Structure 1
Amino acid sequence: MIEPNPQSAEPSVVHCEEGDVEAVPGQRSIIVGADGVARCWWAYTSPLQRRDHDEVWGAPCYDGDELFARLCLECLQAGLSWSSILRKQRRLREVFHYFRPYAVARMEPEILSLLQDAGIIRNRRKIEAIVANAQLVVDLQEAGVPFADYLWQMVGGKPLLRRPASSKDVPDTDLTATLMSTRLRKDGFRFVGPTVAYAFMQASGMVNDHLAGCFRAVRNPEKCEHCAGGMVFDEFGRVALIGRELPEGGYEWCLPKGHMENDETPQDTAVREVYEETGILGEVTREVAVVDHRFEWEGHIVHKFITHFALRRISGELNASNDPDHEAQLVRWVPLRDLEATLTHRTDQEVIRRYMTG
């Protein structure tokens, strides 16, 4: 396990404008930007790096599909700069079917065409490894082992918190990563050496290596949130999904859902959220599933519980313009048989599976 670094050495702090990190040559500690926020020095090398620093690197991820995506990106990065991966990330996610393991595992016939795509990392061994690794993830899931649980148990189920004073205190790998690499390779995974494993741990928030003084190094206790939503069916057996625009382009497709307000019951919240995000007024017919996941938001680990219901359409037409939070940009009906393949997030896919078996 990683031992916390001594905090007696305070990190040096300088001020600079965003993108002007070259103004402080040799600076590898904390930089305060024009917005007054202290960040690790590398956040100022490009806008993509800053977004990665602020939103991804060191933030615990508990979604199995996204963990697989981040592991794939780290495999592709081996021997290259991380900035090159960030520049190509949007295209990589597109061609690899957003790294959904079931889809990637069937990509062997696509390998030759991928090698002609200048928008990605065209390394045949890495691409073949990703496809092979996807099949291993599928095998785990079909054996009843969620990929997130499989990975997180290797670090004891909790993020490993460090407070390095400067970049020289951030290792390329450590014993935990070496043990993770050994386990992964024993189970058949490829391109997962100790350095790749440690970079993956950083990218997935299994270890927090933000420098002491960086705003992302601050951690607060876990908070719980309770939400509700649902599958609203029309008379043809189709279900309404909402599309949310992604910063890197494209859309993620989700079941409508949201936070419980005031004295609402979960059923009340489901009816309201479905109406606000889809324009469809529904009536709850039964509870389908309660799913949960964790993520990081404003320095807190948030444990979110979502109760999903099945609803019958009473009235209304598809319309995303009534959403007061403006989270839904698109809305459409999707046949039940196509739902799992269309939905972006593992937790929504799990709801569909429980409905089908319920």
Structure 2
Amino acid sequence: MTTAQLDFELPPELNASMPPERRGIRRDQVRMMVLDRISGRRIHDSFFRLGNYLKPGDLIVLNSSRTVPALLKGTWKRGKALMDTDVEVRLARRKDDSTWEALVAAAGASVGDTLQFSPGLSGVITGEKASSPIKSILFSQAGTELYNIFYDIGEPITYEYIEKPWKLDYYQTVFASSPGSVEMPSAGRAFSWELLFQLQNMGVSIAFIQLHTGLSYLGEDFDFHPEEHEETYHVPGEVMQKISSTKAAGGRIIAAGTTVVRAIETVGEGGKLSGSTNLYVSRDTRLNITDGILTGFHEPKASHLDMLTAFVSEHHLLCAYQEAVKSRYLWHEFGDMNLIL
């Protein structure tokens, strides 16, 4: 089964259009469906009761990547000629201190063209791929100064189900520390410090890795190629040691999000502790490390659904999603949670 077959009807009103805090609840009070990966049994609960489904000795691995305001607006020039006064650029992936891959919403923009974002920041298109709408942009600033300007002039990347702009703080996890994600690693959003302390007090360990999420949507005309979807990650050596000791003691490794699965399974397959990964996890993938996953609900045919079939059968997953629709769970980064164990 492929993602094209993992299809279901998602009513538009189930797309969470605002943060839980703006719906009158704490971030850790979103709903949670618990799915037994063997039997397919489903339990409906609230996220702040996560500890009821974990046990002392388990390890939760979280992604501490911080979301960058990756939507930039500016003008487009070719030489001295002004081509367009209103150009939108969506950062996709950092290549080095001053170069990013990005989606440029300007038909015909090509290598050598200049994008002016503010008096203090411009960029030159230095590369493009025939098979992808992504282009490389060399910015006029680098390093910390470039990030500072992004935070001054940029906006969070949003999609059509978000009805109004929300401040960047709503797109951060409480433990986010290392800037680099262009879209929020949303599986960790529901955690509060209170819940994390509660889990630690009951004997559940917490560990942090970083994987900077790339742009998830490149347009309707783009064919997704997993081998081209690289993301930068870092897994500290002490985290891998903690994973090994947890498994040796009979504990479970619970990944908070598809990004965490991608990072730690890359290392588990013999990868380096830091680098870029294009690992695509599906039902044919043998999971060497991860025993369970905590994730949001993904839209019909989404590639993330392929990863979930490495944890649970397509039949159980589709039945669970159909029940989630019937039970009025909310989708996407501001929505509800799904624990698969």
For this structure pair, what is the TM-score category when the shorter chain's length is used for normalisation?
under 0.3
Q: Which has the larger radius of gyration?
A: 1
Name the structure where helix makes up a greater proportion of residues: 1
Greater RCO, CA 8 A, separation 6+: 2
TM-score for the superposition, normalised by structure 2: 0.26
